A and B are shown apart, each in its own frame.
Chain A
Amino acid sequence: MTLRLYLAAATLALAAFASAQTVTDDLGREVTLAAPPTAVVSLLPSHTETVCALGACELLIGIDRHSDVQGTEGLPTLGDPYAPDVEAIVALEPDLVLVDEYSGLHETLADLGLTVYAGSPQTVEETYEYIGTIGTLLGRGAEAAQLVARLKSEVAEVTSVLEAVERPTVFVEIDPTPFTAGPGSYVHELLVAAGGENVVPASMGQFPQVDPEFVVAADPQVILLLDAPFGVTAADVHARPGWDGIAAVRNDTVIELSEDATDALSRAGPRLAEAVRILAELLHPDLF
């Protein structure tokens, strides 16, 4: 009798140990869960999208105000990804909170006894890794592997068509100051995959504020307005002093991106392949 009890206890302990997961987040912290979580709070749209893409939408009990995935409509919104309502988060008693690594929230929430994963992929490779990591944390490893494989094949579909095609020079405008995205940023990698060439060199960094003269001298063939959802129009760009000689302005290829497109381009996660396709269609309309 006692032996069976011991065996049962040992088996249970082994099972618990086996389903315990430890991953390392983007800040180098060890995130350990004794069992797959049942109550997850996501404080970043890309986290929300990833959780739902892994078929774990029902695990979510709270999201940030910008998350807008289908299936999360009724969930309590907990505020801004960088300044959420901490009391509300704690009151929900989540067993896992997903935050942005630059939010600084990991300390606050961890101090309050919550398990926090802090991360936000910056490149395409990191995005694939990140989906795998979240899959591991949620106990959906198989789904994660499948999702990554699907995304890779969808991206390969696009890049294979573009192999020998000429790449237009592109200026990506994130903000009308102007701020742009350079090599090392997610948007840049999507651009390259979609058959475009960024006019910004690596030496300028990931998100530099540029001298308008630089853009005029670089003479891009396409200008992508990622700040169009904030009210910047192609007409505004045409009106800038000295910009009317730029190829993109002369050929009327200053493209205002929709809010949905901008979201896909800035949320590194399961919308990666969709984002590459959006860009490929804009840059090579004759091929897609």
Chain B
Amino acid sequence: MLPLSLLALCAVLLVAGAVGSAALTPEHLLGALVKSVRGEDLSTLEAIAWRIRLPRVLLAGLTGAGLSLAGVLFQGIFRNPLADPYLIGTASGAGFGAVLVFALGASFPPLAAIGAPLVAFVFALLTVLLVTGLAADLGGLPTARLILAGVVVGSVFTAATSFLLVAAREQSAGLLSRLLGGFGFASWGDVAALAAFTLPALLLAGAFARALDLFQLGERGAALLGLPVETVKVVLLGVATLVTAASVSVAGIIGFVGLMVPHSVRLVTGPAHARLLPVAVVWGAGFMVLADLLARTVIAPVEVPVGIVTALTGGPFFLWLLRRSRRGPAAGTP
């Protein structure tokens, strides 16, 4: 499954790189590369290929990979099929941070100088710290309390965000689209920043594949088999939160991917994390790149917010997989 998925991902990346409101060819990309190295000026299409299209496609891929990874980790730790990367308040915190910058940026220039992505990231982390602080109990992090605290804190931040949006309506230009998520102005800086979080997270999570399998036996069962449950929980939640916060601050809040991709992959590969993790990451990347491709081509050059595309395309696909898996043990689920 993994080699096939990787091949498919490469194909998807190539198609996404070529197709768009501007029709690009590999020559444009190579020409841009050569000219950048030589310090020469780029032609319009070369500039589009190198500075807009490629970073955008890569950012979409990284975001999809990161959100899927976080989804797998959250679903593994909480053993709850509805768990998604935004469960413990990351998205609400990031959204609030971004709105804060837009609403108060004019009155507090330092805030505007720091910029929405960084403030969003900081608030995402603060929110999760608040949630874990609230949920902590006698040296551990009970998952039930985490979910409750996450939902409550998330609701509070969402309400605060809505209030700011209404109170500072004039300053909210561009804000709604940022909250809806998108890869419109992806830069190489964004790609580098997200890669710095996502790639180490992928490697680290891979090392914990076996631990996640043990988690499925319940925390008591895993502890009896020698797993340091609370430590593993904290590490994996931390990794998942960092990756999610980074994705949200760069690309906005894109739903559906972190919830549905892990489920879809699990129906095909089975629940063993050694296979689930890498395949989910690859599928997540490919899915997001495809969703972004659709978002910018279906009524090109007019764009559709990518979050709408992920929900509309991912939903039916997941339902199809669900139906397929019903037809008996031969379908591949143990």
A residues with a Cβ closer than 8 A to B are 80, 175-179, 204-205, 208-214, 216-217, 219, 227, 229-232, 240-242, 244-245
Contact = CB atoms under 8 A, between A and B. Distances in A.
7 contacts: A204-B301, A204-B302, A210-B301, A210-B302, A217-B45, A230-B171, A242-B50
B154 to A, nearest CB: 25
A27 B305 CA distance: 30
Nearest to B189: A241
Contact of A175 (B53, B177, B301): B177
Contacts of B118: none
B229 to A, nearest CB: 44
Contacts, number: 94
B197 interface: no
A222 B301 CA distance: 20
Interface string B87-119: 000000000000000100110000010000000
Given A208-B302, A242-B51, 8 more contacts: A175-B173, A208-B303, A209-B177, A211-B302, A213-B53, A219-B44, A229-B170, A241-B52
Contacts of A214: 21-22, 300-301
Given A177-B184, A211-B184, A211-B296, A230 B302 contact: no
Nearest to B183: A212
B52 A242 contact: yes
Contacts of A211: 20-21, 184, 296, 300-303
Given A177-B174, A214-B21, A240 B300 contact: no
Given A204-B302, A210-B303, A241 B186 contact: yes
A213 B22 contact: yes
B137 interface: no
Contacts of B102: 231
Interface residues of B, number: 38
Interface in B30-76: 41-42, 44-45, 47-48, 50-53, 55
Nearest to A228: B173
B185 A240 contact: yes
A245 B184 contact: no
B61 to A, nearest CB: 17
Tell me which of B44, B105, B182, B186 has the highest count of chain A C-beta atoms within 10 A of its own C-beta.
B44
B173 A213 contact: no
Interface of B: 20-22, 41-42, 44-45, 47-48, 50-53, 55, 102, 105-106, 112, 169-174, 177, 182, 184-188, 296, 300-305
Nearest to A200: B301
B184 A212 contact: yes
Nearest to B182: A177
A231 B51 CA distance: 24
Given A177-B174, A211-B184, A230-B170, A217 B303 contact: no
Given A211-B296, A245-B47, A176 B173 contact: yes
Tell me which of B51, B172, B296 has the highest count of chain A C-beta atoms within 10 A of its own C-beta.
B51
A214 B299 CA distance: 12
A206 to B, nearest CB: 11
Contacts of B48: 213, 216-217, 242
B44 A245 contact: yes
Nearest to B171: A230
Contacts of A179: 177
A227 B174 CA distance: 9
A205 B303 CA distance: 12
Contacts of B172: 230
B134 to A, nearest CB: 34
Tell me which of A217, A219, A231, A242 has the highest count of chain B C-beta atoms within 10 A of its own C-beta.
A242
A213 B52 contact: yes
Contacts of B47: 216, 242, 244-245
A214 B20 CA distance: 9
A203 B162 CA distance: 34
Contacts of A242: 47-48, 50-52
A232 B173 contact: yes
A214 B47 CA distance: 12
A213 B174 contact: no
B184 A217 contact: no
A212 B304 CA distance: 13
Contact of A231 (B42, B169, B171, B185): B171
A80 B305 CA distance: 27
A261 to B, nearest CB: 15
A178 B53 CA distance: 16
A214 B301 CA distance: 6
Tell me which of B22, B41, B303 has the highest count of chain A C-beta atoms within 10 A of its own C-beta.
B303
A241 B44 contact: no
